[in-house]
Amino acid sequence: MSQSINVVLAIGNTQICKSISDALSYAGYPMVTGVNSVHGLLSAFAQNNPDVLICDHHIETISTSKLVRRVRLGEIGFNPFVLTVLISESASTEHIRPLVNCGADGVIVGPVTTGNVLK
């Protein structure tokens, strides 16, 4: 079942992205696309029609809460109900509130580890 789940990782740090991608593959999710830019994220949505998005709080200079809101409105991708988990550097209310309000399904407060993501 997990073999057909398409995951997009949008994480600016390529080392962390690779580590999480490897962990997901090892856990039975081989369809993982790692990107580290807004362009890469938009391309992944256009080409891969993801089921799950795991994304940094910021990609380049754009807040991902704006991107997630566009996904929820059907402006990006084909599925406005993509399971979305955002990663925040801070646990403060001012950082977490926009991530929750944009429609994210979950928020992980960094530092991010493969264990956090696999939960």
According to the model, what pLDDT value does residue 1 have? 47
31 vs 2 pLDDT, higher one: 31
What is the share, in percent, of the chain residues with pLDDT greater than 90? 23
What is the average pLDDT value for the chain, to the nearest integer?
Answer: 85
Overall average pLDDT of the 84-93 stretch: 86
Query: Mind listing the domains of the chain with CATH numbers?
Result: 2-118 (3.40.50.2300)
According to the model, what pLDDT value does residue 2 have? 53
According to the model, what pLDDT value does residue 116 have? 63
Residues ≥6 apart with Cβ < 8 Å to 81? none
Q: Where are the extended beta strands (E) located within the chain?
A: 7-10, 32-35, 52-56, 58-59, 62-63, 83-88, 106-109
Residues ≥6 apart with Cβ < 8 Å to 90? 96, 109
Express each pLDDT in 42-83 by its tens digit: 899 988 889 999 988 767 667 788 889 999 999 998 999 999
According to the model, what pLDDT value does residue 115 have? 67
- pTM score of the predicted model: 0.86
